[in-house]
Chain A
Amino acid sequence: MLEPRLVQTTFFKNVLEALSDLFIEAHFEFSRTGLELQAIDTSRVALVALVLRAEAFNHYLCDRGLSMGLNLADMAKAFRCANNDDIITIKAEEDWTDTVTFTFESPEDGEILEFDFDFVGSNGVPLEIPEYQESEYQAIVRMPSAKFMRICKKLSSFGDSGDRDPVVIISVYKERVRSFARGKTGTSTTVCLQTQTVDKPKEPTLIEMKEEVSLIFDLKYMNSFSKASTLSDQVTINLSSELPAVFECKIAELGYIRYYISPRKE
């Protein structure tokens, strides 16, 4: 029997809430070194990769590898029933049946909650993702995640363009990043300049530009990532017209969540 135990219920609640809008199924892999999750959206434009090393958990035990495809919406629903301080135990039988059991144990209430999830397909993941070098990107933008969330919210104001999915154009030029969305009844633009002020030294917006770049993204991907970005203080956006764009938030040196989005030039 394989039996990882962990206590990051709140963290997983937030991850599942952020991902389950866009990604239906995910591939989970628990190993001695930690958890790796990958999911791809149904239009196969975006891939999310979550890596969380074992040290990121208060308590993590996993003697042997355990990997499976699971439905994210079902998991989000199950996690909504759990308390934030529950201990989670994940069990799968050695003879490899096609279900996994998540047990939520509340030490305070003396309550145990058990969910069995059937394995599902995982839509083509996991994939081998190369580590791209920063120098391969035309521009890299770093900003506080709160600022990124504000921008996404503003872009959504005119985001509903009717029959087509609303899109956002992100352009980097002259040390500034411009985000533009066109809706049915108007447009919304935000321009961010590089900032590194003395009063907020920990919250700079940094723009590294090798050359100008302009890319189009469906607003839904930006909105989903902005939800996931609550897990970190800062976001990094790597832009290239030849490589997948990467929206990344690091989780306190113990892992990361990355959205890879297929490039679409303006």
Chain B
Amino acid sequence: GAKQGSIMSFFKKP
């Protein structure tokens, strides 16, 4: 299956 990326890549540091 596809590799699971880091959840952090979807969100920005404020």
Contact with A along B1-14 (1 / 0, CB 8 A): 11111111111111
Interface of A: prevailing SS: loop
Is the CB of A264 closer than 8 A to any CB of chain B? yes
Min Cβ gap B1→A in Å is 6
Report yes or no: B14 in contact with A260, Cβ–Cβ below 8 A.
Answer: no
- The one of A47, A128, A130, A216 in contact with B7, judged by C-beta atoms closer than 8 angstroms, is A47
A264 to B5, CA, bound (A): 8
- The one of B2, B3, B7, B13 in contact with A44, judged by C-beta atoms closer than 8 angstroms, is B7
Within 8 A of B (CB), among A138-164: none
A-side contacts of B7, CB under 8 Å: 40, 44-47, 244, 260-262
A-side contacts of B4, CB under 8 Å: 45, 262-264
A47 to B9, CA, bound (A): 11
Contact with B along A75-118 (1 / 0, CB 8 A): 00000000000000000000000000000000000000000000
Report yes or no: A128 in contact with B13, Cβ–Cβ below 8 A.
Answer: yes
Is the CB of A2 closer than 8 A to any CB of chain B? no
Min Cβ gap A44→B in Å is 4
A-side contacts of B1, CB under 8 Å: 216, 264-266
Is the CB of A198 closer than 8 A to any CB of chain B? no
Report yes or no: B10 in contact with A260, Cβ–Cβ below 8 A.
Answer: yes
A-side contacts of B9, CB under 8 Å: 262
Chain B's closest residue to A217 (CB) is: B4
Is the CB of A126 closer than 8 A to any CB of chain B? yes
B-side contacts of A266, CB under 8 Å: 1
Contact with B along A14-28 (1 / 0, CB 8 A): 000000000000000
Min Cβ gap B6→A in Å is 4
Question: Which residues on A are within 8 Å of B, measured CB to CB?
Answer: 40, 44-47, 124, 126-130, 216, 243-244, 260-266
